[in-house]
Amino acid sequence: MTPGIIAAGRQDTAAAGAAMLEAGGNAVDAAVAAAFASFVAEPSLVSLGGGGYALLHRAGSGRPRVYDFFCAFPGLDGAPPAHLDFKAVYADFGTARQEFHIGRGSVAVPGNAAGLCRLHADAGRLPLATVLEPAIDLAQRGLPLGPFNALVGGILAPIVGDTPEVAALFGAPDHFLDAAHVHRNPDLAATLAALGREGPDLLYRGDIAKRILADQRDQGGLLTAADLASYEVLVREPLHRRYRGFDVFTNSSPSRGGALIAFSLALLEAYGPNAQPPGSARRLRLLAEVMRQTNLARPALEQEGDAQRFLAADFVAVHARELAQRLSKDAGRSESDPPAPRTPNHTSHISVLDGEGTVVSLTTTAGEGAGFVVPGTGIILNNILGEADLHPQGFHRGVPGARIGSMMAPTLVLANDQPVLALGSGGSNRLRTAILQVLLNILDHGLDPPTAVAAPRCHFEEGVLQVEAAPLRPRAVGWLRRWGYEVVSWPDRHMYFGGVHTVGHDHEGLAGAGDPRRSGALVQVRESPG
């Protein structure tokens, strides 16, 4: 048994990872097992057919490493089909409708199987087949869809109901998106069992690859044999930022979220951590203006794609001066507030820390899903090519083989090479501000992880300050409005503000929290007495 702690997007996901710790595995075994289990337990958010990132640190190993297994543009050694299966659908978010595109032509090269297996091969301890057992068991016996999957599925009903095969996984025809529906995926169980025997080549060169490619060829997709066979997991240095004496490591380019978090931390360094109490009007204003200033700086990152130049001291200093000037006067709406590019909202995160000092922060997504199941595999592929905001130059114009941009930002905090915190979030543009606020709650204000995660959040975008659980702080909201802010008050905590699942240490030992906004769960494995 290996003592440790895991936070994830559902109890069954976290339990799968905890089972690996109980079997003597390490944090990597636990994170990989939980990720595969999430493809069954959280089917409205993630899928084996998506992609992601992991940030790994082992005590005494030097800097953490980023494992980039996000999706890539397809089309290597191929020609576009005569008819591209690519259509628009609209998801209803209550306050707005958003257009997505689904179908075979929305599928980017998936990376989850390659990335998770590479991470496990590099740093896991248990056999891959053992690590896959919890996910296989869940897929075979099934589990209730649950309220959160049903809620998200309802938003995505035009996608998860687009074909009979996907709709059946979500309970159609009689119990479509019923939280009590027992979600089973025996074809996926068989795929995972074969993966345990054959390794990731199964999905990139083997039988499953052939099924994916046949479906793409026959139904108007873009994936080619060369796309799958040449896909590589990239292992590289993370972004690093010193903040209040801690070492903060986060995701690096081509993902944007880590650089934006690091930029916000750089701006905040000049403001004392205790100058404004958490939740006060002045603290909310500081956070809003830091978010605004980061948004104003963001075009330089988007245009150049160079995180190091974006975080250079002279560039940060220019924006720090602008921030100080803005804080010295009333707020109001700035004509320069830019529209923010959107990124996939349907994402899940896993954080694991074991008693040996190995820590993993891992985020995956499948976009909203492409709306079909690859026949005989149980795999719902991603629709990353159908996210308009990921492709500002237009759909299907990327360079085949190149990584697609993302906001995902798995993050680690170390002190003297020892893990202090692992965290990450889903939530499109809000995931970076959600991660930032939990970091500040812990590093600036000394809150324990459950309190830090549960604390109400804010998010500033396009001149509007969104304030969560506003009735809990009416005086602060009143002052913000008097100072000139356009404030949208949310009555309670909401999934809009992300889902930060975090683990780390407090004064009593291992600690963590699964974010209740997104059905989060926490499981701790304790060392047996005696």
Dist. CA 37–CA 19, nearest whole Å: 11
Q: Is the peptide bond before 254 cis (omega within 30 degrees of 0)?
A: yes
What are φ and ψ of residue 317, in 5° steps?
A: -60, -40
Going from the C-alpha of 233 to that of each of 204, 347, 401, the distances in angstroms are 12, 19, 12
Dist. CA 522–CA 507, nearest whole Å: 18
How many other CB atoms are there within 10 angstroms of residue 169's CB atom? 20
Q: Which two tokens stand for residue 103?
A: 């179908």
DSSP 383-435: -GGG-GGG-TT-TT-SPTTPBPPB----EEEEETTEEEEEEE--STTHHHHHH
Dist. CA 386–CA 233, nearest whole Å: 23
Residues 6+ apart with CB under 8 A from 508: none
Dist. CA 207–CA 190, nearest whole Å: 12
Q: Are strands 347-354 and 4-8 parallel, antiparallel or unpaired?
A: antiparallel
Going from the C-alpha of 480 to that of each of 228, 279, 458, 492, the distances in angstroms are 52, 12, 12, 18
The helix or strand, by DSSP H or E, that contains position 54, with its residue range, turns out to be strand 51-57
The radius of gyration of the chain's CA atoms, rounded to the nearest angstrom, is 22
Taking alpha carbons only, the member of 281, 285, 315, 288 closest to residue 300 is 315
Which residue matches tokens 């998936």? 110
Taking alpha carbons only, the member of 380, 371, 377 closest to residue 211 is 377
Cβ–Cβ under 8 Å, residues 450 and 500 = no
Cβ–Cβ under 8 Å, residues 461 and 467 = no
Cβ–Cβ under 8 Å, residues 41 and 12 = yes
Catalytic residue among 2, 130, 250, 347: 347
Q: Which residues pair with 203 in a beta bridge?
A: none
How many other CB atoms are there within 10 angstroms of residue 9's CB atom? 28
DSSP 209-256: HHHHHHHHHHHT----HHHHHT---EEEPPEEEEETTEEEEE--TTBS
Does 95 participate in catalysis according to the annotation?
no
Calculate the CA 227 to chain-centre distance: 24
Catalytic positions: 347
